[in-house]
Chains A and B, each alone.
Chain A
Amino acid sequence: MQGRSVAWFRKTQHTKAWQQTPPTSTQQSDHITLSSVHLRRGQHDVLKGLNLHWHEKKVGLIGNNGSGKSSLIRLLNGLLLPDQGQVEVFGYNTQQQPEVLPSLVGFIFQNPDHQLIFPTVAEELAFGCQQLGDSPHTAREKALNLLSQYSMQDWANRPVSELSEGQKQKVCILAILIMEPKLLVLDEPFSALDLPTRLQLMALLEQSDCHLLLISHDFSVYEQFDRLIWLDAGQIRADGQPADVIEAYRNAVTQERA
């Protein structure tokens, strides 16, 4: 992977939904805020009056399976709406302004096969631009430009079904970055990948200038993060510097097993 930024792309950027629509709250446009959020799925209370507020660039989220991590991040792009409380992403209320969310919040899922829609790499990247209103020709040009910026020109017509898991996840990340989101949310994107591929993808993410919210069970990826949040049974158990939160989490797990 080339050590280049995607800033070149911003030179050609267009006005997007979230740039055209004024935020609900004008005071905290660089902040993400969850206020007294309660979420129920089926018979279970997944999030219980959650209050959370951050503005840091790189934030991690940890917790046991079923602690509510995936539900929490789905609240940020409107895939889920809270039963009670408010979610504001950069000043936009997810219930009142859901139309801005797809261009504001990029989402990378755990399994790349669930999010690659088109059979070839260039078509997959171009799809994001077409979603934002570009013509098919312009969208393809942008996709090819992005691939060439990362020395991946020869990937353009490669069938996604023939890529390795790491390569597919790389395409997923580029397919979201081409939409220029302000916040990138990643739901365990590295769980099936080997160490070199993880490092390569982390380097790719670090080149982007958007805010990151990452869920991962591999704590080493949080080393360079600004903040780590530990979610436990739908509530915040610890929140702070990654090293401190990881230590607290490990101690708690050790004590529970003892």
Chain B
Amino acid sequence: MISLYLEQQSWLHRLPTSAKLIALALSSVALLTVASPWIMLAALLGAILIYLSLAPQGWRHLSAARPLIPFLLAILVIHYFTDTLVEGCVSLGRLLTLFLIANLVTLTTRMNDMINTLQPCFKPLQLFGIQPRSLALAIALMIRFAPVLAKVLESLDEAWRARGGGKQKWRLLVPLIIQGITLSEHVADALAARGGSAGLNKRI
């Protein structure tokens, strides 16, 4: 689960949003080229060290990676059978490090700052008829509604268990998708009622 903004003053909070986003992009590209498990381990430890520098409120958010564990283990098992365990460990380390670094950006950057930084980057897309503000807003919505969808899944799971549901939890996928679509319709209505994704820009 992506963590939301952490209200405190740290060296990472004070860094300009553009610097954080560039660092995220560069480290993502760099990590893709790493094949050595030792370098990957160093990168992972580096990411963990940054969390530790954010005081207890910050390093508590390392647990945000917990929901990834089943997927990471699955990746490790697939690599074990199709490749080598070392390559599996490198892939696992890469995903985990990337997740932790991306999470650091959302933890220490206000959504508005992120939108205002990203919006000019999307300007070239205007050539293709895509509004930069709409795209930046879509990113904000994605981050904002991650915990809402998690809450929906939690409610569905409770309802499933309350009625003696078994271990076939994949069955929750369809109602989750349906509720997700309904939620998106409601959110679209609410956004339209406030002027839509492009805004009104009618004040003088």
Residues in A lying within 8 Å of B, measured CB to CB? 14-17, 20, 74, 77, 79, 99, 102-103, 105-107, 109, 111, 113-120, 123, 126-128, 130-134, 136, 140, 157-161, 175-176, 179
Contacts and interface: CB of A to CB of B under 8 A. Distances in A.
A179 B137 CA distance: 18
Nearest to B186: A114
B193 interface: yes
Given A102-B195, A157-B5, 4 more contacts: A102-B194, A109-B189, A114-B183, A118-B140
Contact of A133 (B147, B196, B201): B201
A118 B144 contact: yes
Interface stretch (B61-69, B93-101, B110-118): B110-118
Q: Which 3 A-B pairs have the closest CB atoms?
A: A115-B190, A17-B202, A114-B186
A132 B112 contact: no
Given A77-B193, A130-B199, A159-B4, A117 B112 contact: no
Contact of B7 (A116, A127, A157): A157
B45 interface: no
B190 A114 contact: yes
Contact of A118 (B112, B147, B199, B204): B112
B199 A120 contact: no
B186 A133 contact: no
B23 interface: no
Contacts of B7: 157-158
A119 B144 contact: yes
A223 B158 CA distance: 39
B64 to A, nearest CB: 14
A119 B193 CA distance: 19
Contacts of B137: 117
Interface string B154-179: 00000000000000000000000000
A166 to B, nearest CB: 17
Given A119-B144, A123-B110, A109 B190 contact: yes
Contact of B148 (A102, A103, A133, A161): A161
